[in-house]
Amino acid sequence: MSLVSVRECPASLASELSENVQYQGRKPSRQGSEQRRLSILEATLRIIVREGMRGVRHRAVAAEARVPLSATTYYFKDIQDLITDSFALFVERSSANLAVLWQGIEVEFQRLAEASRQDPQARQRIVDHTIDLAVEHVATKVRNSTADVLAELAFRHEALTHPALRKLAEAHQQLRFHFAEMALTAMGSQAPVEDARVLTTLIFRMEYHAVVEGVEDHDMQGQRAVLRRFLNLVVGI
């Protein structure tokens, strides 16, 4: 998935990705099989978050999922398929959550952009709103779902060396790029695609440090200042 026109809705793109995630392992064919498969994938993600990739072994996953060892080898022919499908599940659920979070938000940015054409000072309100959304997103994500942040970091790292994951990782990352592009276009950025890459990188950095330092000890005010400095330069405030 490549960067697309800002006319497309980020929520729709997130929903589309969630609905079109492809899995590598054996497809469930019996009643109750799907739940067992999901339990195995969820257990794999928990192990990755807790121990890293080195902890993913069929026996360890079976014990974590509380299923027979034969169940993991039935659904997944090798460890790589198990890891690939666990990250596919992460992307499916993460994208679905983003689709809900972003539902209708493009309308709000269009309203703000229209206001800024009538009143240049309204650009500051778009900047403030974007900063509030970014900081709240990071704080909530780290406070409530540290495991998701760690899983995403592991996913991006694993994708560097596994082509089967690379396209999925790129598609997932493009969702954030597109949302940032939409916000920056509303602000009046002259280079929204390039600026979106910088903004997304800054938010990734915020998430990383919030996990490392702990969200309560993380300097969110300092991060607000960094975002404000960048966005003010972008819109010429």
The CATH number that applies at residue 50 is: 1.10.357.10
For 72-95, b/e burial (b = at least 16 CB within 10 A) is bebbbeeeebbbbbbbbbbbbebb
Identify whether residues 83 and 118 lie together within a single domain: no
Count of structural domains within the chain:
2
Identify whether residues 88 and 108 lie together within a single domain: no
Asked, for residue 227, whether it belongs to a domain, the answer is yes
Identify whether residues 171 and 214 lie together within a single domain: yes
Grade residue 8 by pLDDT with cuts at 50, 70 and 90: low
Percent of the chain exceeding pLDDT 70 equals 94
Identify whether residues 167 and 215 lie together within a single domain: yes
Q: Tens digits of per-residue pLDDT, 160-198?
A: 988 878 989 999 989 889 888 888 888 888 899 999 999
What type of residue sits at position 17?
A: L
Closest CA to 18 of 115, 96, 112, 102: 96
132: containing domain: 104-237
Lowest model confidence (mean pLDDT) among 5-14, 25-34, 142-151: 5-14
Q: Which of 72, 92, 112 is the last residue of a domain?
A: 92
123, 237 Cβ separation under 8 angstroms: yes
Q: Tens digits of per-residue pLDDT, 10-60?
A: 788 888 888 888 888 887 777 668 889 999 999 999 999 999 999 999 999
Identify whether residues 108 and 216 lie together within a single domain: yes
